[in-house]
Amino acid sequence: MARRDKVSAGLLLFRRGAGGLELLLAHPGGPFWASRDAGAWTIPKGVADEGEDLLAAARREFAEETGAVPEGPFLGLGSVRQKAGKVVHAWACEGDLDPARAVSNEMRSEWPRGSGRWITFPEVDRCGWFAPAEARLRLNPAQVELIERLESLLAEQS
């Protein structure tokens, strides 16, 4: 199936506890991201196939990158455009996931680029729960707006 390289879909898993709202973020795997932290984390997301329903793509990508299958209900968070032009369509879902049990699919990439050497590594090397303030610091800057939108939706429900 063809890929829509500039269109991604993802899920922002959240939970509410005694300490307040927490958000699950994923850290990309591989040597390029190994020593990066602030601004490197992301919501579990990935490229949607041509003609694929975007929420279905978000659920598939979440399962591929964490090993967990989100059940919903899903809250639409709209879309954001990242610096390189990729549009990320996102939904939020309340749930829980033990980051130590998250299991990601693997990917293959040439590293260093142009070297002819191919390596395999997890697409996501770790996940973690973060309070919104900490998540804003770690998250890809374009995706920070998704936190704002989720907080607004949750405030409306209160």
Look at residue 4 in the predicted model and tell me its pLDDT.
64
| pTM for this model (two decimals) | 0.92
Question: From CA 147, how far away is CA 24, in angstroms rounded?
Answer: 11
Question: From CA 37, how far away is CA 26, in angstroms rounded?
Answer: 11
Q: What is the pLDDT of residues 39-79, one digit of tens each?
A: 999 999 999 999 999 999 999 999 999 999 999 999 999 99
Q: What is the pLDDT of residues 77-123, one digit of tens each?
A: 999 999 989 999 999 999 999 999 999 999 999 998 899 999 999 99
Q: Please, which residues have CB within 8 angstroms of residue 153's CB and are 6 or more apart in sequence? A: 75, 77, 92
Domain ranges of the chain: 3-157
CATH of domain 3-157: 3.90.79.10
Q: What is the pLDDT of residues 12-25, one digit of tens each?
A: 999 998 899 999 99
Amino acid residing at 36? R
Report CA dihedral (97, 135, 37, 42) to the nearest 10 degrees: 60
